């Protein structure tokens, strides 16, 4: 038996990335390419009274300057998540209004990048300025609208009665700062028109076919006349799913110029123009009996959006799936600030939501003198309390028990400030992790070639999560070939629709389609194995035997709720004299259904934990209260973890294939690893110091 699934296969794309042969969006070489550089607003609220581009137009190498006065034409897309989607509902350069600092107000095109950049600084803009609202304290909140078709407000039972009957009550507010996605690969677009009715876009996109349809609508073209090329992404975390204004403007300007055009954003421009995770303030109220049984849970959330689109950080999505309570109340509120549009960021909603809930559960455990692991075991819910459906293949309790055993949790001192080492306070903390099991429709083509190899093609793509490796390993096992014999092409809209690389659904969507396509190609060849098929192929002297297959969700979602689970255990050391904290030990145990590739799956969990450590201790984007611009402007001023900040992260998997979810039994793993991390760290800090910190990031001043 050719066993590949579940083993640790090396990355299929690894060599190309380390050797520099993997081509990213800004690296494509197009003859006659010209360069664009954005002109951005220096105020956060107001109107452009005048914009003088005379000096810009006379600058060396300048080809054209676009502003709201001569904006190239684009159409309004349906922007409905199903057909098309853009990150900002307001199209670029559509009027003279300024809604946030850094907003695009123009584009300079020149023969070189340097000339375009230098010329962009020659523009003279006069504004009619209004005072911006960038401080959350000055914001006006309203009930959040439905997001992606789901109402965010929910209530069951009688919360007031549930709290009144409780022996122990916890009420606390937990805050998170604005975070930036900050992928290694900057946002960049190359737009290349063939005549005026055929467009090729080289752009890092998590949703290749969706981006194709969106650009088609923006420029009044049939989808077949638009090609999106994005075989590699240098990270995205949710910020590269749909076109941003700079990409739309690049394509529009390229069409008007009749020249291929490249626009690459600077790090400073990315802080304002390519999304972020909104800061949040969450209030959790818990009621419980003396033995730890929850009687009531309330979760209220405040987050922020921009004037040009609506995005709510859906933190309450985790609350009905974690712990059972007869009385449950959820509420989300949203305020508009003069900032760029927030968007998806790894585990949107789940990550900040679990920070609040898991911190509150730890506070309840201390109040009741119950072990935090036992409190969670006692209250785990068997069904999705909002949907009323039982969970399929749930092994949350195993995550808790295995994690506690591997970490040595039973030896944890029961009092804060009771554990020291080398003159430093030591603390142990834990928290749960969760993320929904999501999948979409995906199509894959498999070709068997006379040289004894197989070729797999899909427009689904790999943003660094390991999809190339996962689909190659799946095909190798299904066909009885070595992984080296599988060639994979991804990330091109000419290929079959592979769905979106987001919501931790790429593996769950693609793997069943790969299995089905492999079965179909063997059937087409009238063979039981690929080796038999190769014999048939060579005898027939055909160029290839191929088959295309699709997989999509069915009616299973009406019967089951699908969710992945996990538990984090960590140790921290705190030097109170200088406020220095180190995370010194980490154990994560995950239940994600069948593990397709043990190596890349564990790597995804580690990446999530590292990102969670950044969320807990460092990541923060503040806005200048006067001009509204982000005060961070590059990867030096926006702090995130380096190697020295990270301990060895031990990862284990438990559970079983979730065959109710899909024929492969696999759920996603990209996002669950970050959820609960910040709470585990804060809980460990309380154990170490006796100080409860409820405001992220936990910087040294909060530890002194």
Active site residues: 671
Q: Which of 344, 341, 342 minimizes the C-alpha distance to 91?
A: 341
CA distance 536 to 478: 18
Q: CA 621, CA 279: separation in Å to the nearest integer?
A: 9
Nearest to 352 by CA among 560, 700, 638, 612: 612
Pairwise CA distance, residues 358 & 348, whole Å: 16
- The Cα 70–Cα 625 span in angstroms is 32
- Cβ 452 vs Cβ 421: under 8 Å: no
Run of H or E residues at 683 = helix 677-689
What are the E-state strand segments in 53-113? 62-66, 97-98, 104-110
Closest by Cα among 617, 607, 696 to 236:
607
Sheet holding 34-40, edge to edge: 62-66, 104-110, 34-40, 261-264, 188-193, 199-202, 226-229
From 183, 232, 318, select the one nearest 26 (Cα to Cα): 232
Q: How far apart are CA 665 and CA 476, in angstroms?
A: 18
Instruction: Provide the phi-psi class of 593: left if phi over 0, else alpha when psi is between -120 and 50, else beta.
Output: left
Cα–Cα distance for residue pair 200/78, rounded to 1 Å: 21
H or E segment and range at residue 420: strand 420-421
Q: Can you tell me the distance from the alpha carbon of 382 to that of 323, in angstroms, rounded to the nearest whole number?
A: 9
Sheet holding 545-551, edge to edge: 486-490, 454-458, 442-448, 545-551
């Amino acid at each position: 038996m050719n066993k590949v699934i579940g083993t640790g296969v090396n990355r299929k794309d690894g060599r190309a990335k380390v050797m520099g042969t993997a081509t990213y969006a800004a690296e494509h070489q197009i003859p006659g390419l010209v360069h664009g550089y954005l002109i951005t607003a220096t105020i956060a609220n107001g109107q452009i009274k005048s914009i003088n581009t005379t000096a810009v137009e006379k600058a060396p190498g300048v080809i054209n300057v676009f502003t709201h006065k001569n904006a190239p034409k684009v159409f309004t897309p349906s922007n409905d998540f199903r057909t098309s989607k853009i990150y900002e509902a307001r199209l670029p350069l559509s009027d003279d209004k300024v809604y946030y600092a850094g907003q695009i107000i123009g584009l300079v095109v020149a023969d070189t990048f340097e000339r375009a950049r230098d010329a962009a600084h020659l523009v003279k803009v006069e504004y009619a300025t209004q005072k911006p609202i960038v401080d959350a304290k000055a914001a006006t909140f309203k009930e959040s609208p439905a997001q992606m078709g789901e109402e965010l407000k929910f209530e069951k039972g009688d919360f007031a009665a549930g709290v009144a009957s409780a022996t122990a009550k916890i009420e606390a507010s937990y805050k998170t700062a604005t975070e930036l996605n900050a992928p290694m690969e900057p946002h960049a677009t190359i737009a290349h028109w063939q005549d005026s009715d055929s467009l090729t876009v080289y752009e890092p996109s998590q949703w290749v076919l969706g981006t194709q349809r969106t650009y088609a609508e923006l420029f009044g073209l049939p989808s077949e006349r638009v090609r999106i090329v994005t075989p590699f992404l240098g990270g995205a975390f949710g910020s590269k799913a749909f076109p941003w204004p700079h990409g739309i403007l690049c394509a529009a300007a390229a069409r008007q110029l009749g020249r291929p055009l490249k626009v690459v954003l600077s790090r400073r421009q990315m802080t304002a123009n390519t999304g972020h995770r909104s800061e949040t303030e969450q209030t959790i109220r818990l009621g419980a009996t003396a033995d730890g049984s929850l009687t009531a849970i309330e979760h209220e959330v405040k987050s922020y959006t921009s004037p040009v689109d609506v995005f709510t950080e859906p933190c309450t999505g985790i609350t009905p799936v974690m712990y059972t309570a007869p009385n449950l109340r959820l509420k989300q509120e949203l305020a508009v600030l003069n900032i760029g549009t927030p968007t998806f960021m790894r585990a949107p909603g789940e990550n900040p939501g679990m920070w609040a809930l898991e911190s509150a559960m730890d506070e309840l455990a201390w109040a009741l003198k119950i072990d935090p692991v036992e409190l969670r075991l006692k209250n785990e819910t068997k069904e999705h309390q909002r949907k009323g459906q039982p969970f399929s293949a749930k092994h949350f309790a195993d995550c808790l028990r295995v994690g506690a055993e591997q970490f040595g949790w039973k030896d944890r001192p029961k009092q804060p400030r009771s554990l020291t080492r080398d003159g430093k306070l030591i603390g142990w903390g834990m928290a749960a992790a969760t993320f929904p099991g999501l999948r979409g429709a995906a199509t894959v083509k498999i070709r068997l070639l006379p040289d004894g190899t197989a070729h797999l093609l899909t427009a689904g793509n790999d943003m660094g999560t390991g999809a190339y490796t996962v689909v190659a390993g799946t095909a190798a096992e299904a066909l009885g070939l070595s992984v080296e014999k599988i060639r994979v092409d991804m990330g091109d809209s000419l290929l079959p629709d592979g769905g979106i690389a987001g919501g931790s659904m790429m593996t769950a969507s693609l793997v069943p389609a790969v299995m089905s396509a492999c079965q179909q190609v063997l059937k087409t060849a009238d063979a039981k194995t690929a080796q038999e098929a190769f014999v048939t192929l060579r005898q027939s002297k055909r160029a290839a035997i191929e088959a295309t297959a699709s997989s999509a969700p069915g009616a299973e979602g009406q019967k089951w709720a699908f969710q992945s689970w996990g538990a984090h255990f960590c140790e921290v050391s705190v030097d109170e004299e200088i406020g220095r904290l180190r995370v010194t030990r980490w154990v994560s145990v995950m239940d994600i259904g069948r593990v397709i590739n043990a190596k890349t799956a564990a790597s995804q969990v580690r990446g999530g934990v590292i990102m969670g450590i950044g969320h807990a201790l460092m990541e923060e984007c503040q806005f200048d209260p006067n001009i509204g611009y982000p005060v961070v402007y590059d990867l030096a001023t926006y702090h995130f973890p380096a190697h020295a900040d990270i301990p060895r992260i031990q990862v284990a998997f438990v559970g079983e294939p979730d065959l109710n979810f899909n024929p492969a039994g696999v759920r996603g793993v990209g996002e669950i690893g970050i959820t609960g991390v910040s709470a585990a760290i804060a809980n460990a800090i309380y154990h170490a110091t006796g100080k409860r910190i409820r405001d992220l990031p936990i910087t040294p001043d909060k530890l002194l």
